[in-house]
Amino acid sequence: MTEITALSAPELVESYRNRSLSPVEATEAVLAHIAAWEPKLGALYAFDPDGARAAARESEARWLKGAPCGPLDGVPGTIKENIATKGVPVPAGTAATKLVPAAEDAPPAARLREAGMVILAKTTMPDYGMLSSGLSSFHQLARNPWDLRMNPGGSSAGAGSAGAAGYGPLHIGTDIGGSVRLPAGWCGLVGLKPSLGRIPINPPYVGRVAGPMTRTVADTALMMSVLAKPDWRDGMSLPPAEIDWLAIDGQKLKGLRIGLMMEIGAGMVLAGDVRDAVQAAAKLFEAEGAIVEPVPAILTREMLDGLDDFWRARQWDDVEKLAPEDRAKILPYIRAWAESGAERSGLQVVRGFNQTMVMRRAAAELFRGLDFVLSPTAPTASYPADWASPVNDPEKPFEHIGYTVVWNMSEQPAVSVNCGFTAAGLPIGLQIVGRRFDDLGVLRMAKAYEDRRGAQRPWPQPPA
């Protein structure tokens, strides 16, 4: 019998429907799992077992009446700390934030709650979400369940840890340069960065999205059926669309034109084991009749450095407003990076921001003759848990985001799905990128790969 904590969201919902399992039983199993994992993992913030139990009892009563409140009713899951939930402070990962309870649920949290998800906790993140790491001045250090010495990635660090450790099947993060896909890749999860505006979010920003982080494509699709509903609070959201998010099976691969982007263009050198795993994944598509052809990287050093200039100044705009005693509480790596934004001239910052437009044009030109693009999610596998990034240098903060950040700026959907493991047993992510607005197409491609990849190796078990 499959352990309860290994069941997908569709499997849990079906078990509630046929009464072979109740939401209370599922929630208790996950809470026990968390008790075994969390002292070593550090994935959670505002953990609320009593609230989860109460929500599970309410869900159980609805299922007994045959009247679930939504497609996620009774399914346990988590929400990233920077997605507001009513009554819970939003520290944004930093000790510099004044802790004030949120007045209302942000759009993604509201949709998940309305659909009946049992909210177990928020998940940890680094200061201001500006690291691909679980390192934070406010939260405990998040670790990777596949190897507790290693980093889960970030900024959706706790979400990656929680998903891989089995803290329920449903988790949501945010992504402005790779913060859903990078931890998903390093933790062996499915992580979707949807088209900008597909999931309403508050506050919205250039390139910023919320996205599911789950163990299976089916889980991600089920979450999207809820998360993509409209919300007036996001002035950058897309018009409501009738999308059958559960129609993820049956993707035809024959004749598809797929670009294979193996080089990053700027930043870290691609590791050999990552290269081999992604090329093997591409061959599975090719074997089914897809036309897979190498394409050059579209990221340049000028693009990456320009974005760094812009983001430093953007972060300094927040940090500069803090009292000196509060500014001193920020993680030193991030504080030094943000303070350097004061040294950028206005012209330098504008030129940096304009590189986002250059990225958009390059992405549009690339996709003129392609249906999808395959690439590594990251140039390397995970790195030490207490590092801020794979190179751990605040002067080179974005050397690892070249495969992911372009698609935030071009507003295209991109998903990371596990495509193998290193010799040390660390997950490797394959990124599948689609045309703007073709979020369902990206999920169908991920499901096609998931089906052909075969069973993933067993998920890590709680430490003794």
What is the set of active-site residues? 80, 155, 179
What's the order of all strands across the beta sheet hosting 257-260?
44-45, 118-123, 76-80, 170-175, 209-214, 190-193, 414-421, 427-434, 372-376, 257-260, 291-294
Tokens of 165: 């450790």
Strand partners, 416: 191, 431
- 10 Å CB burial of residue 231 (0-12, 13-18, 19+) is middle
Strand partners, 119: 77
Q: Which residues contact 321 (CB under 8 A, 6 or more apart)?
A: none
- 10 Å CB burial of residue 84 (0-12, 13-18, 19+) is buried
Tokens of 153: 């990635």
CA distances from 349 to 91, 316, 393, 410 (A): 27, 12, 21, 19
Tokens of 253: 């691969």
Please count the residues of the chain: 464
